[in-house]
Every structure is written in structure tokens, then in C-alpha cells.
Structure 1
Amino acid sequence: RAGKMKFVAVLLFINLIITVYSGCYRGPVVTRITGINLHSEGPHWHAEQHALYYVDIAAHAVHRYSPIDGSDNRLVLNNTVSFVIPMLDKPNHLVIGFGLNLAILNWDGVSKNYKLRIITTVDKNHPENRLNDAKADVLGRLWAGTMGKEEPVGNVVMNSATLYSWNVEKCRMERRLSPVSISNGIVWSQDNSKMYYIDTPSRNITSFDYDVENGEISNGRTIFSFGDVPGNPDGMTIDSRGNLWIACWGGSRVINVDPRSGRLLRTIFFPVERITSVTFGGLQRKTMYVTTMRLGLNSSQVETQPEAGAVFKVTNLGVQGVVNNPALIFC
């Protein structure tokens, strides 16, 4: 009888633990946090400001979103803006992709006052191209890639683009990989020995050996192929466990991939189709921020996905992101 009572007590304890756990953990929660944009892209968490910078490429706009008060301030320029990265040790100075120009934007994130200075132009032999995705490595070295002419949306001229990195000493962009079609998803492993890269039409995630001292990449190899994963790979980030999070344009999801094994770990679904990019931010970088696109949808698509173009946050993921590095530019 004593043994039976002990068994019942154990069952009751297990049931209590399950009840408490299920009440505390709901799994990932997806929440829209901004209004509707045309083509949200390039999210970058600014830890010092506790703010998210991102761009609306088609609207030629730079945004600064504050999770503290929910404000989403916007500065409209006169050319496509493809990425925005804060500069190292230069408050209110941002490196942006401005058409085919690399430019420095001085903006306080609130007012309509700004100063813009172009420092170099790339792909001069393909003036119809534009800059696309960009990131800075742990030393602040900027990597930025271009993409071919896109007309209509989703129809891109192939093999006319290039991946570049910024040479601080020579004050110029240097060609690293060419030809490519749509440069996307640049991130580094935490030990800085690997750089992960996406050329979207390939539907592959490529890993390069990375020499952080001189910025050289070598030994490119495919570590994950999209295969039957819906959509195409777009922006990408990495978490503190070394796993990749990849935006699936046209797939209504962000996927989580282990780059060492090539295994798909899990999938986060969204109420919109065109997921463009992803990063981590917030307190301890435990919130995922995801940008999306509305441009190019027809009326019936807009009706079924009215939140397309907004920025979303994902909480309760149970993972932590890595720091978004500022860019080091001397010119």
C-alpha cells in the first residue's frame, strides 16, 4: 500500500510540473510591431540606443523603431536605401546602401534633418544594379553585395552582381565574389572562422573559411540546400548557439538551421508570404525582429495577408542572438 501511495504521489508531482510548465511556456509568439511598409529590409539592432534600425527599400526610407515607446520614425531620401548599419564610435552616423553608392548618413533618428555623404560607388559597369544586403564583421569590416536589375518584382537579371568588402586602409570597396545574382544573408560564426552567405537564386547557404585579420574568404561549400523548403533564402542571422535563422521570401517562414550538420531544426510561421530579413535584439538579444515585403502583391494577395510589409517581433524563442556589429569607415 505504501508503494502504491508513493507511485500516486510521483504521478501527481509529474502532473503538477507539466501543468506549471505548459502554463509558463507558450512557444514562439509572433507580433506585428509597425505599420505597413512597401519593402522592409535590413534590420539592425542598435544596443546603445535600444532601438531597431531598418529600411524600406522601395520608399527610399530609413526607419528607427523604439520598443520602449513604440515609435517608428522615418527619414525619406531620394534613392533606394538597401541597408543601414551604425558606425563605430560615431553617434548618429549610419552607413547606408544608397542605390549603387556607399554613403554616410548623419541623422538623429527623430527629426527630418540629415546630412548625406557618398563615399564610393560600385558596379559602375552595371548601372541598373543596386546594393542589397550588408553586414560588418567583428572588426567592423563592412561586407556588402549588389543585385541585378529587378523588373518586375522577383524577376532579377542573373550573374551581373558582386560581393564586396570595405578596405579601411585604402578607403575603397574590394571585389570578393563575382558573378553573383542577389547578395544576401552575410553572417559569421562566433569564433569568426566561418562566413555564411546566400546568393538567393541558388537556394543554397554557403559556408566560407574566413580569415578575420585580412578579410579573405576561401573554400566555399554548400552547407544547406532549400530543396522542398518553400520560398527562397533572403536575409539571415545567427544565434549564440551557432545556429542560423533564415528568412524565406515567398515561404511565409523563418527557418532555423544547424550549419555544422546541415539539419533543419525548426520553423517559425508568419501571416505574410514575403519574409525578407531577420535579426535579434531587445534585452539580452532574446527578441527576433523580422522584416517583410508588400511590394508586388496583387489585390487578392493583399486581402489575404493585410499585414504584409510590416515588421514583426518573435518572443519566447528560448534562444539568444549575437551582437550586430557596427561598421568601421574612415574616409
Structure 2
Amino acid sequence: MMPTSHSVRLLVDARNSLGESPLWCPRSQALWWIDVQQPSLWQWDHATGATKTWPLPKPPGNISLLEGGGLLVAYRKGLAVLREPDMHPEPLRLGEFEFGDERFNDGKVDRLGRLWVGSFDRSLERETGRLYRADASMSIRAVDTGFGLSNGIGWSSDSSTLYFADTHAQCIYRYAFDLKSGEACDRDVFVEFRPGPGGPDGLTVDAEGGVWCALFDRGRVDRYSADGTLDLSVELPVSRPTSCTIGGPRMRTLFITTARMGIDEEALTTQSGAGGVFCLEIGQRGLLGQPFAPSTDLSARQARQ
């Protein structure tokens, strides 16, 4: 059955300025996400329905699960380990890596535990964004370049295809992907959107190969089949969805983060849930996320450097 706007419900009225990077943890049966503009970490517990939040010392770009527990936080200009939500993040040293005028944005971990993270020019004026891969040894390299606003990342269920959104280009790209080597090549356009405000933001891929993408400033989440055909659109009661993921006990709940920044007071009267987390039940099963898998204990490695 195709979801409708009536299927969507407000799960957490978080009032995030820029909610982002929703992450389902199967071990704790909890949803994690961040507020980028009001730097904070959030958690919703499925068993109790309770929501918790913790301040972060600076704006995050994305979060990932960490093998053995905790979270990997990609800040705008670096990575850090957050072992417990109320602890101070431990910065990681990236081998032979220097930023120019760009900063990290969205990111995700592939099925061999490598972090993929996009960047963009801080002035949002140049197409200097890159797609990076950070390996277990914390070596990091650019896999592709020339992006205006790097955003959602995901893989097909067999890991043969990598999807990557550039909001400014109004495109979701796809690459031929080799999981063993971590190489992505032969970029082409998977979906191209009409010109206009906002565009493709965070995305996730289901077990049937469908690509779900939040369309910022367009008030909906679209699902595309593996051939790029629009399968369905989920209309939302707010205009600025930012990202989505699939989780829940049955792995059939679509969670959607949203933003309220930039929405004027008059518009907020009709978008009271802006900045909240929305959800709906879907027919497709999600794919379990992979934790970042360092080759050795992070603390020991940092001490040796």
C-alpha cells in the first residue's frame, strides 16, 4: 500500500533547528540523530518512548555507530569518538589530510566498516566538495570531486552500487562500487530533479533496492526503484525534511528528521512539527547499518601517534 500523508506521524517534537543524520541502533533498539545548528545529540528509545538529548561542543556533520559501542562523530573539520553520550568527544588524527575551504557534511559506513563522508565549500559558492573514504587505519582520501553540496550516501543491498546526492546539482548520482577494494567509479546520474529551492538531501536504501530521499524545502520523501523510476512520494506536514533511515524492531519504520531553521514565524503556524522527527510504517524492510570498524583500539592507536 502506498503511504499517504495521513500515515505520517510526529514521533518526537524535537524542534531541532537542523535535525540530521538519523541512525537506528539495533542493539539498543533506539534512534539517534543530531541537531547541527544547535549542536546536540538526540536519542529516542523504542521500548520506553523516552527522548534524551546531550550538548555537543561544536556543530556535527553526521554520526555513525562505532564497533564495540559508542558513536563516531564527523564534525565540520574532523572526526571524533564519543564513547558515552555525556562524555567529551575524543578527536581522531587523520593521516596526511588537510582541509581547504570545505567542511564535512553527510556520511555513512559501508559494509566493511569504512566511513564515507562528503564535503562542501563553506561559502556555498564553489563546487569544491569531495567524496571521501576513511579507512580503519584512519587514512582518508578523496574518491571523487566537484560537488556543490554533498549530502546523502547509501549502497544497494548487494553493495554493487553507491548512491550519493548533491543538493546543488539537483542530482542523486550512482557509482559502480567494489566492496572489497572500496573503489567507486563510473559515476552517472541516477535521478535528476527539477530546478527550484532545496533538493535531494539525506537518503537511505531498502532491502528491495529502493532509494528513499528526503527533499529539503519540498516537503516530501520520495522512493525510487533501482532503475531510477519514481515509485512513491510521501507528503509531509513540514517543508524541510533533511534525512531518513529505516529501523524499528521489524526494520519497517521510516524515520525522517526535519529542520525549522529559515522558516518564518507565519509559516511555522502551519508547520508546528517543523524540526521534529516523523515516522511511518512502510512495506519494505530496511538494511542494518554497519558500525565503523577500526583495525585496532582507537585509544591505543592515538597514543602511539
Fold match, TM over 0.5?
yes
1:209-248 to structure 2, matched below 5 A, reads: 209-227=176-194, 231-248=198-215
Is 1:32 aligned to 2:10, yes or no? yes
Contact 1:253–1:275 (CA<8 Å) still a contact in 2? yes
Is 1:325 aligned to 2:304, yes or no? no
**2:106 matched to which residue of 1?**
133
**1:103 matched to which residue of 2?**
80
Of residues 236, 259, 263 in structure 1, which corresponds to 2:229?
A: 263
Of residues 92, 115, 131 in structure 2, which corresponds to 1:163?
A: 131
Deviations 1:227-274 (A, max 9, x none): 2798400000011110110100011000010132x2111100111001
RMSD of aligned C-alpha atoms? 1.8
1:1-331 to structure 2, matched below 5 A, reads: 27-28=3-4, 29-34=7-12, 35-88=14-67, 90-91=68-69, 93-107=70-84, 109=85, 113-120=86-93, 124-126=99-101, 129-149=102-122, 156-169=124-137, 171-227=138-194, 231-260=198-227, 262-315=228-281, 317-330=282-295, 331=298
Stretches of structure 2 lacking an aligned partner (at least 5 in a row): 299-305
TM-score, normalization: structure 2? 0.90
CA distance in 2, matches of 1:264, 1:234: 16
SS in 2 for 1:301: helix
- Closer/same/farther in 2, CA of residues 176 and 96 from structure 1, 3 Å limit: same
- Closer/same/farther in 2, CA of residues 27 and 244 from structure 1, 3 Å limit: closer
CA distance in 2, matches of 1:167, 1:27: 38
SS in 2 for 1:185: strand
Contact 2:167–2:198 (CA<8 Å) still a contact in 1? no
CA distance in 2, matches of 1:162, 1:47: 30
Larger Rg belongs to: 1
Aligned-pair CA distance for 1:67: 2.1
Aligned-pair CA distance for 1:177: 1.3
Contact 1:247–1:276 (CA<8 Å) still a contact in 2? yes
Stretches of structure 1 lacking an aligned partner (at least 5 in a row): 1-24, 151-155
CA distance in 1, matches of 2:187, 2:76: 28
Deviations 1:30-59 (A, max 9, x none): 111112111100001000000011100011
CA distance in 1, matches of 2:218, 2:197: 5
Moved over 3 A (4+): 25-28, 120-123, 228-231
Bigger mean CA deviation after superposition, 225-234 or 74-83: 225-234
Aligned-pair CA distance for 1:303: 1.8
CA distance in 2, matches of 1:235, 1:308: 17
Percent sequence identity over aligned pairs: 27
CA distance in 1, matches of 2:158, 2:76: 33
Aligned-pair CA distance for 1:102: 0.9
TM-score, normalization: structure 1? 0.83
Aligned-pair CA distance for 1:96: 0.6
SS in 2 for 1:323: coil
Deviations 1:300-328 (A, max 9, x none): 2222212110001112x211111111111
CA distance in 1, matches of 2:132, 2:180: 16
SS in 2 for 1:285: coil
